[in-house]
């Protein structure tokens, strides 16, 4: 499905269940899926990623309508929903699969991510941000039972903080 104005972004900010739930609430996000990115193991499964030996981070890949929400606004939500100063940890979850990463798909996204990181480091986090800005590689979709987990099962947000920018109406 190719629609004008639909772009892709990917973020890792801890447990992908909560990250996906948070991004799904943003007006302009039209699709989300959770999976694994940033590692070296081909076709990893959840159990392998949980060992921390695959190098992958739990990641949410987002399709968004750039006419309704900007990439900069998605970055604002990313910073607001987690603690980017804790290496390999969010809330009760720890391990390199829970690290903070902005995966970029274009030079424009890379530039925006780096500028946003620098601004947040100066204005809010006192130079303590450990978030990585990494070119998006192959995305391995997680098992179906992980997709839209909180929508299917309810529950908390895995250490993800709310509020963030604009909710769905």
Which domain CATH number covers 72?
Answer: 3.30.1060.10
Domain containing 132 equals 6-153
14 in a domain, yes or no? yes
103 in a domain, yes or no? yes
CA angle 68, 77, 33 (to 5 degrees): 75
1 in a domain, yes or no? no
131 in a domain, yes or no? yes
How far is residue 102's CA from residue 59's CA, in Å, rounded to a whole number? 9
69 in a domain, yes or no? yes
Handedness of CA 90, 93, 94, 97 (dihedral sign): negative
Q: What is the pTM of this model?
A: 0.89
Annotated active-site residue 15? The verdict is yes
How far is residue 161's CA from residue 27's CA, in Å, rounded to a whole number? 18
pLDDT band at 10 (very low <50, low <70, confident <90, very high): very high
pLDDT tens per residue, range 23-77 = 999 999 999 999 999 999 999 999 999 999 999 999 999 999 999 999 999 999 9
Selected catalytic residue, list 2, 15, 50, 158? 15
Structure tokens at 9: 């972004």
pLDDT(106) > 70: yes
pLDDT band at 168 (very low <50, low <70, confident <90, very high): very low
Report the number of distinct structural domains present in the chain: 1
Query: Cis link prior to 50 (omega < 30° from 0)?
Result: no
Under 8 Å between Cβ of 44 and 54 = yes
Q: Which of 66, 51, 65, 31 is nearest to 139 (CA)?
A: 31
Least confident of 22-36, 91-105, 108-122, 141-155: 141-155
What pLDDT, on a 0 to 100 scale, did the predictor assign at position 169?
A: 39
Exposure of 168 by Cβ count < 10 A (0-12 exposed, 13-18 middle, 19+ buried)?
exposed
165 in a domain, yes or no? no
């Amino acid at each position: 499905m190719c629609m004008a104005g639909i772009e892709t972004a990917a973020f890792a900010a801890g447990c992908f269940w909560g990250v996906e739930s948070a991004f799904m609430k943003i007006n302009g996000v039209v699709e989300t899926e959770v999976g694994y990115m940033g590692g070296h193991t081909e076709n990893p499964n959840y159990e392998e990623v949980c060992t921390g030996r695959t190098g992958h981070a739990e990641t949410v890949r987002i399709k968004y309508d750039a006419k309704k929400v900007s990439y900069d606004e998605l970055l604002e939500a990313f910073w607001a929903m987690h603690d980017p100063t804790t290496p390999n940890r969010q809330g009760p979850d720890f391990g390199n699969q829970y690290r903070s990463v902005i995966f970029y798909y274009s030079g424009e996204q890379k530039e925006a991510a780096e500028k946003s990181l620098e601004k947040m480091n100066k204005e809010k986090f006192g130079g303590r941000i450990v978030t990585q800005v990494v070119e998006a590689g192959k995305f391995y979709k997680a098992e179906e039972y992980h997709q839209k987990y909180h929508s299917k099962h309810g529950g908390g947000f895995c250490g993800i903080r709310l509020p963030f920018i604009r909710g769905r109406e």
